[in-house]
Amino acid sequence: MSVETAVDPAAPTVRTRERRQRSWRRSLVGAAALASALIIWEIAAYAVGDPVTMPTVQETARELLHYLTKPYPQVQGKTLVDDALISTARILAGFGLGTAAGLLLGAAMAGIRVVRELADPIIGVMRPLPPIAFIPLLVVWFGIGEASKVALIFFGVLPVVTIATLGALDAVPDELSHASRSLGASPFHTMLHVRLRAAVPGVITGMRIAMGGAWTSIIAAEMIAATGGVGFLILQAGNYLQTPLIFSGIAVIAVLGFVFDGLLRLLLRAADPTARR
């Protein structure tokens, strides 16, 4: 049998079409689920009949659109866009530093036994600790400025990414490392170009988990010790019983979290074309 007859040239096209169909189906199902949630929300708001307790979808949407670009003087004089940018900057700084440190530490633990024996108990103790518990201590150390927020996210992201990196590297087949070393590659080259490349999907999955925890930590920190950010806006809106604005802030967090998770999923697909789409 010739190569031409053994390989079906239409097979990639069929697989691409099937992936697109699955993607559209998931998008439609997700849109239907979101629409159902909004309908339930609207019914519950009308059943309660109190806009302070449960505003309608329309009231929340009007509040959201109005204060995206217009300041809310009773709260802080900033817009929703301003607060969203403040929170996003803190997330990017803390998440970036925590991810970089977690990658380096996880790789060092996977490649150097002494580092693993020293760091493993420390990471094991840090992992179950909620980052929110460190807020008072970080405020004492760094004040209520940006450093304390970035440090909080850093300490929350570090153990998650470290464990994800270590687990992904340990799961790489030994045959790949042995083949690289047999061809003359150094241990560092093997770690960087073989093991880490093979472990990228697992690392990105850990980054997605850490991103969710980062948003939880920063919103809590902004509610306790901050003068700006979406968490601070939600707290102040609650003090003035502005429930539609509270829901607007929650919606902004949901959108930002969805966008960041989508970007990480795109990164995963770029790194691993076989990842499910």
Residues 205/272, Cβ–Cβ less than 8 Å: no
pLDDT in tens, 195-228: 778 888 888 989 999 998 899 888 888 888 777 8
* Residue 3 in domain: no
Instruction: Give CB contacts under 8 A, 24+ apart, made by 65-71.
Output: 67/245, 67/248
Co-location of 111 and 145 in the same domain: yes
- Whose CA is closest to 106, among 169, 187, 186? 169
Identify the pLDDT of residue 273. 58
Residues 20/12, Cβ–Cβ less than 8 Å: no
Instruction: Provide mean pLDDT across the span 122-135.
Output: 83
Q: Which residues contact 106 (CB under 8 A, 6 or more apart)?
A: 161, 162, 163, 164, 165, 166, 169, 203
Co-location of 196 and 241 in the same domain: yes
Identify the pLDDT of residue 154. 92
Residue-range definition of the domain harbouring residue 145: 56-271
Determine the Cα angle at 245 with ends 83 and 88, to 5°: 20
- Whose CA is closest to 216, among 174, 166, 253, 246? 253
Co-location of 40 and 64 in the same domain: no
Q: Is the pLDDT of residue 127 over 60?
A: yes
Confidence category of residue 140, pLDDT binned at 50, 70, 90: confident
* Residue 132 in domain: yes
Determine the Cα angle at 82 with ends 81 and 87, to 5°: 95
Identify the pLDDT of residue 104. 92
Confidence category of residue 85, pLDDT binned at 50, 70, 90: very high
**In Å, what is the CA distance from 70 to each residue of 65, 75, 76?**
9, 12, 12
Strand locations in the chain, DSSP E? none
Co-location of 25 and 140 in the same domain: no
- Give the number of other Cβ atoms within 10 Å of residue 234's Cβ: 24
Co-location of 41 and 85 in the same domain: no
Confidence category of residue 5, pLDDT binned at 50, 70, 90: very low
* Residue 2 in domain: no
Q: Is the pLDDT of residue 41 over 90?
A: no
Looking up tokens 């920063």 gives: 218
> What are φ and ψ of residue 126, in 5° steps?
-70, -35
Identify the pLDDT of residue 89. 93
Q: Is the dihedral of CA 85, 270, 209, 276 positive or negative?
A: positive
Co-location of 216 and 79 in the same domain: yes
Co-location of 38 and 68 in the same domain: no
Residues 83/228, Cβ–Cβ less than 8 Å: yes
Q: Is the pLDDT of residue 38 over 70?
A: yes
Q: Is the pLDDT of residue 184 over 80?
A: no
Q: What is the CATH number of the domain that holds 212?
A: 1.10.3720.10
Identify the pLDDT of residue 275. 56
Q: Which residues contact 91 (CB under 8 A, 6 or more apart)?
A: 153, 211, 214, 215, 218, 260
Q: Is the pLDDT of residue 7 over 60?
A: no
Q: Which two tokens stand for residue 210?
A: 């850490």
Identify the pLDDT of residue 88. 92
Higher pLDDT, 21 or 152: 152
- Mean pLDDT value across the chain: 82
Instruction: Give percent above pLDDT 90 in the chain.
Output: 18
pLDDT winner (highest mean) among 2-11, 45-54, 66-75: 45-54
Co-location of 42 and 62 in the same domain: no
Co-location of 179 and 227 in the same domain: yes
* Residue 4 in domain: no
Identify the pLDDT of residue 1. 44
Angstrom distance (rounded) from CA 182 to CA 134: 47
Co-location of 60 and 45 in the same domain: no
* Residue 73 in domain: yes
Q: Which two tokens stand for residue 44?
A: 């519950």
Co-location of 239 and 144 in the same domain: yes
* Residue 1 in domain: no
Angstrom distance (rounded) from CA 230 to CA 246: 9
Identify the pLDDT of residue 3. 45
Identify the pLDDT of residue 98. 93
Confidence category of residue 97, pLDDT binned at 50, 70, 90: very high
Co-location of 168 and 123 in the same domain: yes
* Residue 67 in domain: yes
Number of domains in the chain: 2
* Residue 277 in domain: no
